[in-house]
Amino acid sequence: MTTTRTARRRNLSVAAYLVLGAAIAVAAWIGGSWPLAVVLGAFYLVTGGVLFWWAGRSGDVAALLRASGDERQRMLDLRATAVSGLAMGAFAIAGTVVQLARGEDANPYAWVCFVGGVSYAIGLAAFKLRG
């Protein structure tokens, strides 16, 4: 991967991180919690800057940001993502079960389970087609 392409991907990754942070901060603001919004905004700004600087100097951090990474780093990222997905799925299922047992509304756990199941089926079908 060329240096220019790596730099472009790093910029995109950090930009996406900052946009996500801004969305969360704005949501907190809209929800009426402006001190939290300010703290969150500052947190994402500072950590975004640190990640941008660090990714330029460390291949491992750049790989975490998906700005670069060899085949092994991509495999590690994929496996870690799968473990994270499984953990979140298990948590959503447990939440659904507990809520139902309590006779309460199972949302949003049930919706998370639904999204997880559908996205898994779509992913499986797509990757099977790709070979």
Partner 1 sequence: MKNRVRELRTALELSQGGLGTELGVSRQTVNAIEAGRYLPSLPLALRLARFFDTTVEALFELEAEDER
Positions that interact with partner 1 (CB under 8 A)? 59-60, 63, 70-73
Alpha helices in the chain (DSSP H): 3-30, 34-55, 59-64, 71-101, 109-130
The residue among 36 and 76 lying less far from partner 1, judged by its C-beta, is 76
The residue among 18 and 62 lying less far from partner 1, judged by its C-beta, is 62
Structure tokens at 108: 């949003």
For residue 93, the Cα-to-chain-centroid distance in whole angstroms is 20
**What is the smallest separation between the CB atom of 79 and partner 1, expressed in angstroms?**
12
The residue among 72 and 128 lying less far from partner 1, judged by its C-beta, is 72
User: Rounded to the nearest 5 degrees, what angle is found at the Cα of 127, between the Cα atoms of 121 and 131?
Assistant: 145
**What is the smallest separation between the CB atom of 108 and partner 1, expressed in angstroms?**
39
**What is the smallest separation between the CB atom of 55 and partner 1, expressed in angstroms?**
14
**What is the smallest separation between the CB atom of 130 and partner 1, expressed in angstroms?**
16
The residue among 15 and 82 lying less far from partner 1, judged by its C-beta, is 82
> Residues of 13-48 as b/e, b for ≥16 C-beta within 10 angstroms?
bbeebbeebeebbeebbeeeeeeebeebbeebeeeb
| Backbone phi, psi, residue 65, to 5° | -80, 0
